[in-house]
Amino acid sequence: MIIRKIAPSPEAVPDQLPRHIAIIMDGNRRWARERGLPLVEGYRRGIISLREATTACSDLGIEYLTVYGFSTENWKRDDAELSVLFDLCCAFARNELAGLIRENVRVRIIGHPEALPPAARRALADLVEKTAANTGTVLNLAVNYSARSELGDAARALARDVAAGSLDPESIDENTIGSYLHTHDLPDPDLLIRPGGEARLSNFLLYQVAYTELWMTDVYWPDFTRETLALAVADFGRRARRFGGA
């Protein structure tokens, strides 16, 4: 897996654009620690980066942006950090709403947000409701999400339908499985971006990224800008996608 280094300036955006970009927003905590700042400052700066990435996608005409907001594994963090994350979730919903409406961005959620504390759950539901009529870029927030949990949900639903007689097991193919995933109404990501210097998928969209182009950088998420995204999109535009063909 190749880590793409960031050049000093973005290249021109190519004609070939991804319809769907996925981002693992990594490096918030390391960014704060290396600067001697509280962890909350890394997360706050990460929200600014999310705003920039969303605006850039909207400006470029990218149809879907899926970001890894909170994984099921994040529950292992200490209570103080979790409290910060949930408070910032509420602040994000409150402070970003006007901008999302102005940019015509529609917010949707995948995962299991019902397990979040009530205030965070209400804040996200409000964001989804108030942007539902928007027709531009879809900002898809993966909240309390893991790909293995998603695949478990799909397997149980498939098993129930087979047991009920509404699904022939011999008819199950990859399209059938995809229709039972949380992203059933979205195209698979064309491009997955991971800032922060790590080169792994971290239990994110494992089924959906089978043929997704990967672009990784050592830039931490709080330092990720629209110019960084433009570099990733430009690199995507130079790639020949064969989907397993010759």
What is the rounded CA–CA span in Å between residue 86 and residue 82? 6
**Is 26 assigned a catalytic role?**
yes
Burial of 30 (0-12, 13-18, 19+ CB in 10 A): middle
> Could you tell me which residues come within 8 angstroms of residue 193 by beta carbon, excluding any fewer than 6 positions away?
21, 22, 23, 24, 215, 216, 217, 229, 232
What is the rounded CA–CA span in Å between residue 222 and residue 127? 23
Expressed in angstroms, the distance from the first to the final Cα of the chain is 20
What is the rounded CA–CA span in Å between residue 211 and residue 143? 23
Catalytic entry in 15, 26, 140, 173: 26
* Residue from 124, 115, 68 nearest 96 by CA: 124
In this structure, are residues 137 and 58 in contact, taking their beta carbons and an 8 Å threshold?
yes
Catalytic entry in 15, 74, 78, 104: 74
**Is 104 assigned a catalytic role?**
no
Phi, psi (degrees; rounded to nearest 5) at 117:
-60, 155
> Which residue numbers are catalytic?
26, 74
